[in-house]
Amino acid sequence: MMLKGKRFLITGIADKHSLAMYVAKKVLEFGGSVVCTGLGVSQHHENLSDKAKAFLLSTYTDFQQCVEKELGEDALTRVMDVSLEASMDEFCQDMKKNNIHFDGFLHAIAMDKTIRKKVVKPLLEVSLQEFCETMDVSAYSLIRITKKLSDYEILNPGASICSISYIAAAKVTFHPYRNISIAKAALERITIELADELGRKNGTRVNCVRFSPYMGSKAGNATLNEKDVNYAGEVSPLGNAHPEDLAYDVVNLFRPDAKITGEIRHIDGGYHIMG
């Protein structure tokens, strides 16, 4: 029960197959508690089309229902859109009002509109807006969440922050991702800079895990194809890692006494050692 009495913010659950859901379950298994945030309609969205509104409403309903079913009623659910400062303020005010503090959080958020139906746009065709949106949601959000929780004084000293990346942040792999790879590289660099800045400030730890390709989630299914996932599995000495393997590692990083920070580690069956 190494997480007994510890509470974690879990972002990035879309459904029961989300990597974040595996982590949330593991946190509970080890005695911790969770607050889960998902995309949904908030009063801070402006000029939402009917289509976008319907999408956000159904996304949030799916998220809420699966959290209740998989994690039980004690797991709180809230809307949080990391691209909207006001949505984040609202979430933090709500937590503060209810005296809810965190011992860390999982960043499991990525978005890239330049990948459609598994087809990746060449980098030369990526617009500045597409580049910046992907960077904002998938990388800068790590700074934004950390800053908001800190400003509202709801992130305890010595907290553990963890995000999820993949090998494409460093190498062109079996499946070139272009735009999102650059955002993942930024996410990893942000991890290292925050680890130094916050470790010295109050003992906060910041780490990132590069995970194997996984088609079970919505994001994985929308971007990967089976051929590439199988190839990664064949090349990796131990085969592809499973979401459960990732969850164990994150829980280990969440351990209050783990003296680990600034790491970009691999839970990928050894894929990263191959040439």
- Least distance in angstroms from the C-beta of 59 to ligand NAD: 6
Cβ proximity to ligand NAD, 21 vs 159, nearer residue = 21
- Least distance in angstroms from the C-beta of 252 to ligand NAD: 17
- In one-letter notation, the amino acid at residue 97 is K
Cβ proximity to ligand NAD, 44 vs 203, nearer residue = 44
Integer angstrom CA distances of residue 67 from 33, 55, 125, 212: 13, 18, 38, 24
Angle between helices 243-254 and 19-29 (to 10 degrees): 50
Identify the residue among 111, 170, 185, 260 touching ligand NAD (CB under 6 A): 111
Identify the residue among 211, 248, 254, 271 touching ligand NAD (CB under 6 A): 211
Q: Which two tokens stand for residue 266?
A: 């691999």
Cβ proximity to ligand NAD, 79 vs 99, nearer residue = 79
**Applying CB under 6 A, which part among 68-76, 78-86, 95-103, 231-239 lies near ligand NAD?**
78-86
Q: Which of residues 58-77 bind ligand NAD (CB under 6 A)?
A: none
| Dihedral angle over CA of 43, 150, 21, 272, nearest 10 | 120
Rounded to whole angstroms, how far apart are CA atoms 209 and 141?
Answer: 16
**Applying CB under 6 A, which part among 41-49, 69-77, 102-110, 113-121 lies near ligand NAD?**
102-110
For tokens 């499973």, what's the residue?
242
Beta strands in 89-195, from DSSP E residues, in sequence order: 102-107, 115-116, 119-120, 155-165
Q: Which residues bind ligand NAD (CB under 6 A)?
A: 11-14, 18-20, 38-39, 80-83, 108-111, 137, 164-166, 211, 213-214, 217-220, 224
